[in-house]
Structure 1
Amino acid sequence: MSATALIRPWTAPARQRAFLNAAAIGVPLAISAGVVAWRLAGIGAAIAAIAIGLTLSLLVALRLAARFDLNWLIRTLDARRPDMEDSAALLFADEASLGPLQRLQRARLTARIDAETPDQLAPDWHRRSIALTAIAALIIVALALLWPRPGQGPPTLAPASEGVAATPGIPRLVAQNLRILPPAYTGLPVRDSQSLDARVPHGSRLEWTLRFDPQASLPRLLMLGGQPRALRRDGPDWIASRTADAAFLYRVDPATGRGPTPPLHRIDAIADAVPQVKALSPKASLSMVTRGQRSWSPAFAATDDYGVAASARLRITLAIGEGENVTFTEREIAVSGSGPARDRRFAPRLDFGALGFGPGSDMVVQLIVRDNRSPAPQEARSPSLILRWPSAQQPEGSGLEGMVNTVLPAYFRSQRQIIIDAEALLKQKSRLSADRYLARSASIGTDQQILRGRYSQFLGGEESAQPQLPTADAETHHDGDGHDHGPPRQPAPGFGVAEDVLADYGHPHDDSASSSLDPETRAILKNAVDEMWQSEVHLRQGHPDLALPFAYRALRFIKEVQQATRIFLSRVGPELPPIDPSRRMTGKREGAASRTLAVAPIERGDGPAAAAWRALGDGPGAIRGPIALDALDRWVRSEAARLPDPLALSGALDAVRRDPDCGPCRAKLRGLLWTAMERPPARPARRAAPDANGTRYLRAIEGAAP
């Protein structure tokens, strides 16, 4: 029997028993930890706690089982089996290294070892430890299930701090608690606040638990500027609830208007912020396809105060083609994010083949994410990222064989850009070889040709070809000259009629785009096209310095055409009433009204605030006693959207209304009004009066005696 065949069956029962002992102790503890985490932080924390607990239990069990190896087996056989005669190590030794007596002893031990089974060497069950662990786990689970969650069960009231003196027979607030239940989408736990002032998420449910001494009969929550809210009795306590759909001020009135006025409390409703999306890579908004690239993985980061949805939409716009033959396709695909909910990462992989993206195309991507607000989640869009795949370079067929020219799209060209390129080429002339300089100049000439062709279409297309020399034959129309001649015309019955001659031997151009231009504008545009032709000729010959004057004149003519077009369009306006010629030269002025416009004062929106500010001050318009604040109250409500802190202003206004003689209250309201009123427009500062030296200098330059 080999040593390996003997070790495995004798150690396997012991390892299994040790593994089960450790698992029986660790699994209940992991489950109890998961239940506690579920009660404290929800199902996600429970799953994480159970997973961590089971992993630790497995690692400990495997480590304990690994202790039962060959050394343990030899020690155990020698300790428990007297018939092994302290020679159990011979059973697992290499036979070649044994002497004759050792081999004889090994044969005797091999015959004796089968007298017992391997199960007798396994350790005992840890019944006491397993029982104690199970009992402890059950107690923990029971306490976790029976223990109320934060915000459940009756709240613990805190002593009230209203600062109101006790009046015999008048109830006053002695204990308080404010429970805040945020909306589910925020993921925030329910919490109890010992203060009646709080900042809560918008849409939270508020529950007040109040206690009065002596017991109140009909306490209320007085909403400043709103309807009072009654409280319902629950044993010794009084309870009220409301949804925080907006910020508000309130006070607790325990005695229905009797006794001293309680202080104001403030609830701020914090609105859910819109998600923020930014592009992580690439950093630039425009990037180019590299050689061998077959996919693109733009990366985005989306953050939100309460969490971004796990999935988003990626809008992909493909612009395929060049020049005027561009087709656009748009699609949206769903992408999944990674990372925590408040800071997710989106990195979709876009395969060029699946999208149909190829040379001469642009791909524009934009990520659209939503937050977890319910209902009506908010949406945000990332900046657009553009991936450009330039088209393959093709040879230019303008007589420069072997030269390669990549032509930009037509919408990137302009006459001003041609001038800029020509001037830049002149500055680089000393650093370029003659061939390179000629190629660059010819490339700019090609741009000039394309631009000239685009302007020539407004002249009927006649100027799109190279102009003929004065000595050339007269222009004739024939098939293939680039014009649409229509079907063959049958001979007219008449002879010598001008219209019939034109129809037989020519074709009119009145249906072209040039027919909409007035003769003046057409002539200016014709001059611009001629100057472009001269500029193109010199550029193709490698003389950008000679082409610049023509290019500048072409630009000037184009500007004149644009201005003429604007002047022509501006003349189309409202029709004036007809003039009565019977009243001309008569001197009659009946019915003629004065054309002098009255100077109207500037209407400002903070009139009530300014009036109250003056009344609260120490100037001539100050009022020492009670002030009429109804107009100011209405102004605060109507302008609440633009005021920096309307609640603080309303609270200060209420304090002055209740105690008109309170100096600190008046000063506080006046200070808040100053920050709330519109700022006056800036005026130029007056020049400082000159001093003695300045006066002498001014008199000297005026020619006066010092």
Structure 2
Amino acid sequence: MIVSGGKILIRFKKHWQLMLWLEVLLYALGPAILIYFLFFNLIFSIATLILVALLIVIFVKPWKPDLKTVSSYIDQHLDVAEYSTGLLLLPKEQLSDLAKLQQYRIGKELVEKLKTIKPPHHLSRACIVMILCALVGFMGYRYHILDHLQWPQHKEVRPDTIIFKPIDSTTTTQQPKLESQLLTIQYPAYTGKPSVETSKMEIKAVEGSRLSWQITFDTEVKNVFMESMGNSHPMKLTDNGYVRTSVLNTSGFYNFKFTDMLETSYTSELYSIEVVKDKKPDIKITDLKQFTSFSYDEKKRIAFTTSVTDDFGIAEAYIIVTVSKGSGESVKFREEKLSFDSKFSRGQKDLSLSKNIDLDQMNMEPGDELYFYIEALDLKHPRPNISRSETFFAVIKDTISDEFAVEGTMGVDLMPDYFRSQRQLIIDTEKLIKDKSKLSEKDFKFKSNELGFDQKVLRLKYGEFMGDESEFGPATQENTAIPEEEHEHDDEDHEKENDPLAAYTHDHDHENEHNLVPHEEEEDEKGNDPLHEYLHNHDDPEESTLFTQSLKSKLRQALNEMWDAELYLRLYTPEKSLPYQYKALKLIQEIKNSARVYVHRIGFDPPPIKEDKRLTGKIDEVSNFRKKEELRLPELYPFIYKTVLRLEQLISNKTILTDEDRLLFKQAGNELAAKAIEDPGKYLKTLQRLKQITEDRVIPTSILIEVQRGLFYALPELQPNPSKKKVLTGEINELLLKELQIHD
């Protein structure tokens, strides 16, 4: 009993310690979740979790409860223990008989009553703290409070001091000194990037970032401006110096300019602004064909996997499905929005989503078409970037809408009404098989025989297109089994009596037999006729046909399939007849498609001819149309070209700059700035020098040469224009060239 009692106390101690460790974890999770929602930095969140957990562990001390503490706690909260729980910790040899009896009784009571008390803990309070921290963090993220309240988390300090130069180089006054400069970049909250403080004035940030400049001088100045792309923006004076705030939208250049109390103006160098665009989500579908078709009797499912990636996180991804029903003017469209089978959380940068589309669940029927594409949205605020994939197609083949038709190859319309009966026969046969259990044996055989008769009528009507005038082919095999001529006549008479179409057909084998040529005479006539091989014999059913040889063979195969289909219907086995009916229908459809004739549409429709002007021979009002136009490409960078030429004159003649020159250089600077947006580092120095020569009065020749070289490299390369040059040669020149080649 000592071992059993000790195990009870040890189990209670472990449970107590576990509750305390869980309390520590909940206290630490709250601040960690709050930090993650505020800064979207997993490293900061994990560091906060570890730091807070260490602090809470020091105060809570989860390892503190031991067996003596557990024994004392049980004695205080459990009456049946009678303050004798400590006996369970002592060995049996050290106890008296009375103590052993008490030890046994207390162990038995603890087994039954120990579950009624719980170790002390504050889990509910820890859960409330964690939930409150998570709610505060989520509200800050949801309503973008950090756009106004977040403080810089990363500081860069670089010795990139703004250097101001006086616009008038002859100024001798004391120049105010710059004490401090600071650029703060607050990235949009959805990017999850912390704000940055730096002394470097070159800017490269995400579109929509908030930029804040702050500069201070050692003495009072009159005003400070920021010049950007031809615009001048005043900076506001505050307790912290001159500040300005702007939202980053476009790339460009900017510089600072200020005027001291003596009306002396100073300007700084140019600094580049480069906007990093938030890319659209990238959607890739690799395991799906562009077009998929299904037969109506197979499983119609489309399964695929989609990969969606984004630079700052994905907000939503779904499928847009459009179902079209009908054809022609009666077509109807239905659009639906489907979600993926795989679940994902908002803000993930890389997703792998799967989807299984069941066309039957989309209420699609044969002939319906399905169009779908994937659309994804990122976290950009307020207008997210939307990306969509290419469109994929799926169609259920429609066999009902296929009709037999011959176009362009026949002069008259010989299409009987029976040509659409094969599909109806298939539908009726399938219905008969389905209703077999509901019908009596007599009704089932009657209907199967009726379908066999319909199949026979359809085969006879198709036989007319082969030139057949009576049953032949597989049907004649029945008659060939009886060699006697008398039996043939008896069977033929009996068949004629039972044939419902006998009154409507012309039987060349029996009617008007006295006008027929004997068989022997026919053979002699064929043998003596020299043109027999070159004539189209309509008396022979194998050659009498309205189709080409390829269509004839397919139609013959269709008739053979119809014969087999009729045979099994007559034998009361419609399930065996179905495959032959499908084969016959397929051959008929192929004949329809191969017999189509496509005519190209003529694009020009001439106007109607006026009858009063026709055949008069008057052409006075007829004139030719002639249009003459010179195509010239727009001139690129005209002011840069003029500036290069003007700088060459200034370098050669060493003349003084005029106001017209400064205006020309300013216009050339605007052209160069537009080109430099794509590559700021390449043309920044040239822009700075060009701005310098527009503001200074005395310019060294070396700076003019440097600016001219930079502008020359900024001009695009001339495209080669090959042309044939006419060279005048004479007899004397040719003799001279020959002599030079000889003595070379």
**TM-score for both structures, normalised by structure 1:** 0.54
Q: Deviations over 1:282-328 (max 9, x none)?
A: 2433456699857544322222233221x333111335689999765
Change (3 A) 1:618 1:157: closer
Tell me the residue number matched to 2:641.
611
Q: Structure 2 matches for 1:317-332, cutoff 5 A?
A: 317-319=322-324, 328-332=333-337
> How much does 1:681 deviate?
5.8
Does 335-344 or 152-161 show the bigger shift? Answer: 152-161
Distance 1:573 1:343 in 2: 65
Give the corresponding residue for 2:279: 273
Q: Which amino acid aligns with 2:390?
A: P
Aligned counterparts of 1:656 and 1:638: Cα–Cα separation in 2: 16
C-alpha separation between the residues in 1 aligned to 2:8 and 2:720?
97
SS at match of 2:406: helix
Q: Which residue does 2:235 correspond to in 1?
A: 231
Q: Does 2:376 align with 1:369? A: yes
Structure 2 counterpart of 1:379? 386
Matched, 1:285 2:300: no
User: Cα deviations across residues 218-238 of structure 1 (Å, max 9, x unaligned)?
Assistant: 222222411x22222223522
**Bigger CA drift: 318-327 or 349-358?**
318-327
The corresponding residue for 1:18 is 17
Q: Secondary structure at the match of 1:246?
A: coil
* Amino acid aligned to 1:680: Q
CA distance in 2, matches of 1:355, 1:622: 81
Secondary structure of 1:218's match? strand
1:110 alignment partner in structure 2 = 101
Partner of 1:343: 350
2:335 aligned counterpart, secondary structure = strand
The one of 709, 714, 719 equivalent to 1:680 is 719
List per-residue Cα deviations over 1:123-153 (Å, max 9, x = no partner).
x999xxxxxxx9xxxxxxxxxxxxx986369
Range that drifts further, 245-254 or 637-646: 637-646
Q: Match of 1:298, as an amino acid?
A: F
Shift, 1:40, TM fit: 5.2
1:239: how far off? 1.3
* Partner Cα separation in structure 1 for residue 199 and residue 206 of structure 2: 18
Q: 1:90-132 deviations in whole A, cap 9, x for unaligned?
A: 99xxxxxxxxxxxxx8896234566899899x9x999xxxxxx
Give the counterpart of 2:210 among 205, 210, 227.
Answer: 205
Give the C-alpha shift of residue 208 in structure 1: 0.8
- The within-5 A match list for 1:130-279 is 151=151, 161-164=161-164, 169-226=174-231, 228-235=232-239, 237-255=241-259, 258=264, 261-279=267-285
C-alpha distance in 2 between matches for 1:629 and 1:573: 66
CA contact (8 A) 1:151 1:190 kept: yes
Q: Which residue of 2 aligns with 1:299?
A: 305
The Cα shift of 1:178 comes to 0.6
Deviates more, 1:461-470 or 1:379-388: 461-470
Structure 1 pair 369–639 and aligned structure 2 pair: CA distance change class (3 A): farther
1:197, 1:267 within 8 Å by CA — same for their partners in 2? yes
The alpha-carbon deviation at position 173 of structure 1 amounts to: 2.4
- 1: CA distance between counterparts of 2:90 and 2:153? 68
Q: Distance in 2 between matches of 1:218 and 1:243?
A: 22
TM-score normalised according to structure 2 size: 0.52
Name the counterpart of 1:333: 338
1:469-510 Cα shifts (integer Å, max 9, x gaps): 9999xxxxxxxxxxxxxxxxxxxxxxxxxxxxxxxxxxxxxx
- SS of residue in 2 equivalent to 1:274: coil
Q: 1:263 Cα deviation (Å)? A: 0.9
Summarize the Cα distance change of 1:195–1:632 in structure 2 as closer, same or farther, 3 Å threshold.
same
Change (3 A) 1:654 1:224: farther
1:16-58 deviation per Cα after TM superposition (whole angstroms, max 9, x unaligned): 5434554566555555555665665479976996699889999
- Report whether the alignment pairs 1:308 with 2:314: yes
Distance 1:213 1:52 in 2: 43
SS in 1 for 2:355: coil
The answer as to whether partners of 1:366 and 1:385 remain within 8 angstroms in 2 is: yes
After alignment, is 15-24 or 170-179 more displaced?
Answer: 15-24
Report the 3-state secondary structure (helix = DSSP H, G, I; strand = E; otherwise coil) of the residue aligned with 1:298: strand
State the AA in 1 paired with 2:162: E
1:260, distance to aligned residue in structure 2 (A)? 5.3
RMSD: 6.4
State the Cα distance separating 1:364 from its structure 2 match. Answer: 3.0
Closer/same/farther in 2, CA of residues 456 and 372 from structure 1, 3 Å limit: farther
Deviation of the 1:608 alpha carbon: 0.9
Post-superposition shift, 1:250? Answer: 1.8
Aligned to 1:657: 694
| CA distance in structure 1 between the partners assigned to 2:158 and 2:203 by the alignment | 15
Pick closer, same or farther for the CA change 1:57–1:82 going to 2, 3 Å.
closer
The residue aligned with 2:552 is: 537
* Alpha-carbon displacement from aligned partner over 1:431-488 (angstroms, at most 9, x marks no partner): xxxxxxxxxxxxxxxxxx96x635579x88568999989999xxxxxxxxxxxxxxxx
Checking the alignment, whether the CA contact within 8 Å between 1:34 and 1:45 is kept in structure 2 is no
Matches of 1:388 and 1:601 in 2, distance apart? 50
Residue 571 (1) aligns with residue 606 (2): yes
1:177 shift after superposition: 0.5
The letter of the residue matching 1:299 is T
Number of residue pairs aligned between Structure 1 and Structure 2: 510
Other-structure match for 1:453: 406
- Contact kept? 2:293, 2:395, Cα under 8 Å: yes
Distance (whole Å) between structure 2 residues aligned to residue 631 and residue 573 of structure 1: 61
Give the distance between the partners of 1:285 and 1:189, measured in 2 at CA: 43
Structure 1 counterpart SS, 2:602: helix
- Structure 1 pair 289–655 and aligned structure 2 pair: CA distance change class (3 A): farther
CA distance in 2: counterparts of 1:634 and 1:158, whole angstroms = 34
Post-superposition CA distance 1:337-366 (Å, at most 9, x none): 526532233333434443124666543321
Question: 1:283, 1:48 → 2: CA distance?
Answer: 44
Aligned match of 2:497? none
Answer yes or no: is 1:600 the counterpart of 2:620. Answer: no
Structure number with greater Rg is 2
Give me the whole-angstrom Cα distance separating, in 2, the residues matched to 1:582 and 1:307. Answer: 77
Question: CA–CA distance in 2 between the matches of 1:170 and 1:636?
Answer: 27
Cα drift, residue 11 of structure 1: 3.8
The one of 661, 664, 678 aligned to 1:645: 678
Distance 2:468 2:302 in 1: 60
8 Å CA contact retained: 1:19, 1:64: no
Is the partner of 2:642 in helix, strand or coil?
helix
Change (3 A) 1:537 1:254: same
3-state SS of the aligned residue for 1:354?
Answer: coil
Alignment partner, residue 429 of structure 1: none
Q: 1:337 to 1:605 in 2, by over 3 A?
A: farther
Secondary structure at the aligned position of 1:305 is classed as coil
Aligned residues of 1:198 and 1:268 also touching (Cα < 8 A): yes
Supply the distance in 2 between the matched residues of 1:38 and 1:681 (Cα, whole angstroms). 59
| C-alpha deviation, 1:243, in angstroms | 2.1
In structure 2, distance between residues paired with 1:57 and 1:359:
68
Whether the aligned pair in 1 keeps the contact of 2:182 and 2:215 (CA below 8 Å) is yes
